[in-house]
């Protein structure tokens, strides 16, 4: 997964980059709920931290890339496992009751519990570096910033 954005802050070897989702992310209905690297979402802009391996500076436009395996794992956690949680909840309630409404509520309940778990997991994982994108290229340097 690749995105282009503008660096708005630097902290150590991390760059805070603001992006307007393009490509697959730009058209995804779940983009407001999806934040695999602990992104902050404000309107149509996403603020994310990226590992700044190329020495980007504030004002630079950069290309960022997320490890494909990490992107697949994120999609698995966000899109597939909630369906599994619903199925487990439905199955557990099927053992207890014959009422279809209760079975559906059981599935929804398990899904809600899973999303609460996922939210807590997201906060923990976003502090690490594995789920952070990496600045792969400085697309456009901010005028007046000389590089050595």
Nearest CA among 131, 3, 13, 14 for reference residue 73: 131
Predicted confidence (pLDDT) at residue 38 exceeds the cutoff of 60: no
* pLDDT tens, position by position, 56-110: 999 999 999 988 888 898 889 989 999 999 999 999 999 999 999 999 999 999 9
Non-local CB neighbours of 34 within 8 Å, separated by 6+ positions: 25, 28, 74, 78
In the chain, what are the domain boundaries?
1-66+131-148, 68-130
In angstroms, the CA 137 to CA 60 distance is 10
Specify the CATH architecture of the domain 1-66+131-148: Beta Barrel (2.40)
Non-local CB neighbours of 26 within 8 Å, separated by 6+ positions: 20
Non-local CB neighbours of 145 within 8 Å, separated by 6+ positions: 57, 59, 60
pLDDT score, position 27 = 58
Hey, what's the torsion of the CAs at 72, 9, 62, 50, to 10 degrees?
-20
Does 146 or 93 have the greater pLDDT score?
93
Q: What is the mean pLDDT of residues 9-20?
A: 91
**pTM for the complete prediction?**
0.66
């Amino acid at each position: 997964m690749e995105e282009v954005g503008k660096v708005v802050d630097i902290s150590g070897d991390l760059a805070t980059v603001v992006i307007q989702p393009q490509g697959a992310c730009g058209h995804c209905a779940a983009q407001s709920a999806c934040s695999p690297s602990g992104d902050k979402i404000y309107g149509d802009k996403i603020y994310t931290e990226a590992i700044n391996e190329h020495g980007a500076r504030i004002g630079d436009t950069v290309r960022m890339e997320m490890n494909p395996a990490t992107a697949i794992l994120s999609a698995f956690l966000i899109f597939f496992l909630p369906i599994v949680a619903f199925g487990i909840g439905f199955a557990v309630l099927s053992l207890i009751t014959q009422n279809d409404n209760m079975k559906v509520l059981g599935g929804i309940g398990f899904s809600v519990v899973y999303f609460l778990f996922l939210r807590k997991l997201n906060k923990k994982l976003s502090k690490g570096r594995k789920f952070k994108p990496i600045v792969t290229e400085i697309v456009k340097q901010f005028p007046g910033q000389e590089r050595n």
